[in-house]
Amino acid sequence: MLGAGGGGDTYTGLLMALRAVGEHGPVAVAPLDQIAPDAVVMACGLVGSPAVADERLWSGDEGAVLADAIAELRGAAVDAVMCFQIGGANGLLPVTWAARLGLPLVDADGMGRAFPGLRHQAMRVAGIPASPVVLTDGRGDTVVVRAADDTAAERLALRATASFGGVCAGAVYCMTGAEARRAAIGGSVSRAVQLGGDDGVAGREPLFEGRVVDMDRDSSGAAVRGSATLAGAAGDSGRQLRLELQDEFLLAIEDGAVRAAVPDAICVLGAESGEPVSTEALGYGDRVTVVAWPAPAVWRSPAGLAIAGPRAFGYDVDYEPIAVEVADARR
């Protein structure tokens, strides 16, 4: 749900997490306030193309390679694992790594959803440096990037990712427990579990229900880009909703007015399955329900919107917050 149409497929990641938990026992999910201030928190996940990631199997040992490198760089062992992105596959792979390492998983993440870039991290807004970025290909090869400037760190890390074949495992914005309490988005794992449960979407007013009547999508570049037009379901057939997408669904526009906008999470669900549909999988004629979740407060701040608002993605519209319909524990 928090993939917002992106973040990569969860199927393989879920199988891996279930297997790791079966072999190594359950993973403790620790709230931020239970993480010691001087603990070393390893924020981690897959870096690169979700499309390539879907076709790549992992040994599960990447977390140990990353943790060893972080421990060497910091001179202190990793105490807890954190997803840097809760949406999509990256909400699951760190579960596998935590299980195999015997470490707790912090109930937090760096995005509160899926975003395309390493720059879309709440830790960046809080001034935590991205460096050192540790990357591994899953065969034990590592690349460590250190740059004073996060933009340079991201550029160098993405080149290294390309040299690893387009996707790799990475640790970035690693920090202390005290820094995580200040900078990370709390409650993300609990929230993903809650949204994925039977009552996840229940009681939430959909943004739109209808059918895809036009798709304009280009998957040839580094990112999926385009738009989808939905026509309202029976009884509502005069309405049209346009979804703008770039890996994730970023804007929902009806009659020229913004109904929902990034950084709020826009999620398209199959009308019958109730399962999220990715920007890549959405097709002409699909009957869908569009829902949206409010972004964590960090993204609604001016500094957050500068990184993750509609204009940061090239849309000439202002951010219009959706109503916060449910009590939201996230910062």
In the complex with a copy of itself, which residue's Cβ is closer, 5 or 170?
170
Q: Give the number of other Cβ atoms within 10 Å of residue 23's Cβ.
A: 11
Q: How far is the CB of 142 from a copy of itself (least distance, A)?
A: 5
Q: Which residues pair with 231 in a beta bridge?
A: 211, 240
CA 261 to chain CA centroid, Å, is 16
Using rule CB under 8 A, residue 64 touches a copy of itself: no
* Residues near 153 by beta carbon (within 8 Å), at least 6 away in sequence: 118, 129, 130, 131, 133, 145, 146, 147, 172
Q: Of these, 22, 23, 26, 146, which contacts a copy of itself (CB under 8 A)?
A: 146
In the complex with a copy of itself, which residue's Cβ is closer, 18 or 156?
156
Q: Of these, 58, 84, 164, 173, which contacts a copy of itself (CB under 8 A)?
A: 164
Q: Give the number of other Cβ atoms within 10 Å of residue 318's Cβ.
A: 11
Using rule CB under 8 A, residue 76 touches a copy of itself: no
Using rule CB under 8 A, residue 168 touches a copy of itself: no
Q: How far is the CB of 230 from a copy of itself (least distance, A)?
A: 40
Q: How far is the CB of 139 from a copy of itself (least distance, A)?
A: 8
Q: Of these, 66, 143, 175, 250, which contacts a copy of itself (CB under 8 A)?
A: 143
Q: How far is the CB of 251 from a copy of itself (least distance, A)?
A: 32
Q: How far is the CB of 303 from a copy of itself (least distance, A)?
A: 24
Q: Of these, 14, 77, 147, 271, which contacts a copy of itself (CB under 8 A)?
A: 147
Using rule CB under 8 A, residue 19 touches a copy of itself: no
In the complex with a copy of itself, which residue's Cβ is closer, 142 or 246?
142
Name the one range near a copy of itself by CB under 8 A: 16-24, 142-150, 253-261, 300-308. Answer: 142-150
Instruction: Report residue 206 as tokens.
Output: 């959909």
Cα separation values, 234 from 83, 209, 211, 278, Å: 41, 9, 10, 24
Which class for 199: exposed (0-12), middle (13-18), buried (19 or more C-beta within 10 A)? exposed
Tokens 């993750």 label which residue?
308
Q: Give the number of other Cβ atoms within 10 Å of residue 61's Cβ.
A: 17
Q: Of these, 25, 26, 140, 321, which contacts a copy of itself (CB under 8 A)?
A: 140
Using rule CB under 8 A, residue 165 touches a copy of itself: no
In the complex with a copy of itself, which residue's Cβ is closer, 128 or 207?
128
As a whole number of angstroms, the distance between CA 11 and CA 55 comes to: 11
CA 120 to chain CA centroid, Å, is 9
**Backbone CA torsion sign across 69, 75, 81, 84:** negative
Using rule CB under 8 A, residue 29 touches a copy of itself: no
Q: How far is the CB of 150 from a copy of itself (least distance, A)?
A: 11
Q: How far is the CB of 155 from a copy of itself (least distance, A)?
A: 6
Q: Give the number of other Cβ atoms within 10 Å of residue 102's Cβ.
A: 10
Using rule CB under 8 A, residue 118 touches a copy of itself: no
Could you tell me whether strands 248-254 and 257-261 are parallel, antiparallel, or unpaired per DSSP bridges?
A: antiparallel
Q: Rounded to 5 degrees, what angle do the CA atoms 288, 290, 293 make?
A: 150
Name the one range near a copy of itself by CB under 8 A: 56-64, 101-109, 145-153, 293-301. Answer: 145-153
The residues of the shown chain that bind a copy of itself, judged by CB under 8 A, are: 139-149, 152-153, 155-156, 158-160, 162-164
